[in-house]
Structure 1
Amino acid sequence: MNVLPERLSVKECLLKLPWFQKLPPYGSADQGISGRSVLMKSEVSGQRWGMLLGLLLLALLIEPLFGSSKPVQVAGFALFEIVVVSALISSVRDIRGRVFGAILAILWFSGTLLVMFANMFHGLVVVVSLVMLLGALFVTFRNLLDRHTGDLDSLVGAIFGYVLLAATWAALYLQIERWRPGSFTFPDDAGLWSSANYYSLVTLTSLGYGDILPSAPLGRLTAGLEAVVGVLYIAVMIGSIVGSFHRRR
């Protein structure tokens, strides 16, 4: 009776090749990273970015799907904060930076709850939201510039960074609107979080439908900066991925 050969994935085939197991260390000499560990690290990185992208999209869709009640808003923002903290922790290797990021995220979430339920500390939450936005910029651009291979993992990480920028900017718009009502012409028949996300996405992609407009100087400034970052991100993303494919060839 003939037995069909076992079907192996590409990764398993590579791991079984003798020449692949004898690859020299990748990176600096003190790191001692072999070809096997680089492959495994790439796979884990791809799964991580894919999972974070799924959670981020879920955080954006909670309010449009389930309404704009207070519990739904808290659940959506809590999920969004988990994504931001996870991205910061995975990108910052220094333990002090991770602790600072976690503490800042807790203050951000606590301040947001105070704004939602007690109408307090609006200005402080706007400042913390701006700091978190800078952290998101650091995470996304560092992820792009640190990529040495052009593959599916790089593409998923780039997409996650792009959506993360839009969501973080939307959180900043949300806090500005709560601090200075009327800063944006958000519609009254839609949730504030979903409207902010929509406006952030059309601004980041330079679509500019015109149905929502910044009507205050602070809103105009932040919207203009987001448009600049959106164009810059696309340029850096395309250059990084195309350059990675050329290095592979």
Structure 2
Amino acid sequence: MNWAPPILAPWRLTHGLRKHPSAILLGVQLLGILSYPLMENTGIGRALFGAMSIAVLSLVLWVVNRASAHWVAWLLAVPSVTMSLLANFAGMPALLPWAHALEAVLYFYAVAGLIRYMLSDMRVTTDELVAAATTFTLLAWAFAYAFSACQAWLPGSFSAVSVPPQPRTWMELLFLSFSTLSGVGLSDIVPLSPLARALTMLAMFAGVMYIAIVVSRLIALTVIRQQRH
């Protein structure tokens, strides 16, 4: 019987989340998608956005530390967080593109660590299924940060349909990243500069290969396990 006293239920929930940090990271990122639009247009909101980004980075480090060597992640995270804090709270916005570039590299590193974790054996666990969803969101965030750094260094890199070139918001770049990786092609954001188009093509390639290699393998192993039972 799986019933647990109410006193033990919170402990079991906490224990389960500690065993599956990917689930926490996925939940925070999905919450961010809903909350970021409320943060973009005010100074306080942008400050909260910076703080939330740092919190997400901390969770990324937690996840990476489980999946691969951590010194590389810390080497990327410490200067990134420092520059992000200086940019958002010390009036040094010129550092923000560099922070975003390092965050993009950190997220790509986290993606590589989680993919290696998911491909390390022939079993499919609940944690690996959650990690598959988390890896996709990390990939989307990584390209969004890369797009952000690109448009800061090369103004006019992205435009929107019927809107003249101007700096796109974080949500617009994240929307472009998700729509490109998923292959749905619904984004109204258009890459204009050669670097922006190169990054977008890499996002297309990454999205197709992720579904073809990682997701299809997890599905195949799940089907094999069910057939054996």
Q: CA deviation at 1:193?
A: 1.2
Q: Which amino acid aligns with 2:2?
A: L
C-alpha change, 1:123 and 1:65, in structure 2 (3 Å) is closer
Q: Which amino acid aligns with 2:60?
A: A
- Who is 2:176 aligned against? 199
Distance 1:112 1:77 in 2: 7
Contact 1:45 1:153 in 2 (8 A): no
TM-score (structure 2 length as normaliser)? 0.75
Q: Unaligned regions of 5+ residues in structure 1, if any? A: 1-6, 10-41
Stretch deviating more after TM superposition (80-89 or 222-231): 80-89
Contact 1:60 1:76 in 2 (8 A): no
Distance 1:45 1:172 in 2: 30
Aligned pairs (5 A) from 1:31-46: none
Q: Which amino acid aligns with 1:141?
A: I
Matched, 1:8 2:2: yes
Matched, 1:211 2:185: no
Stretch deviating more after TM superposition (72-81 or 223-232): 72-81
Structure 1 moving runs of 4+ over 6 Å: 187-191
Distance 2:98 2:56 in 1: 22
Q: Which amino acid aligns with 1:120?
A: A
Instruction: Count residues with an aligned counterpart.
Output: 210
Contact 2:158 2:167 in 1 (8 A): no
Match for residue 106 of structure 1 among 78, 81, 84: 78
Match for residue 73 of structure 1 among 37, 43, 46: 46
Matched, 1:60 2:60: no
Q: CA deviation at 1:160?
A: 1.0
Contact 2:158 2:192 in 1 (8 A): yes
Distance 1:121 1:77 in 2: 13
- Who is 1:23 aligned against? none
Distance 1:145 1:45 in 2: 21
Contact 2:25 2:134 in 1 (8 A): yes
- Who is 1:237 aligned against? 215
Distance 2:95 2:56 in 1: 24
Identical positions, percent = 26
- Who is 2:199 aligned against? 222
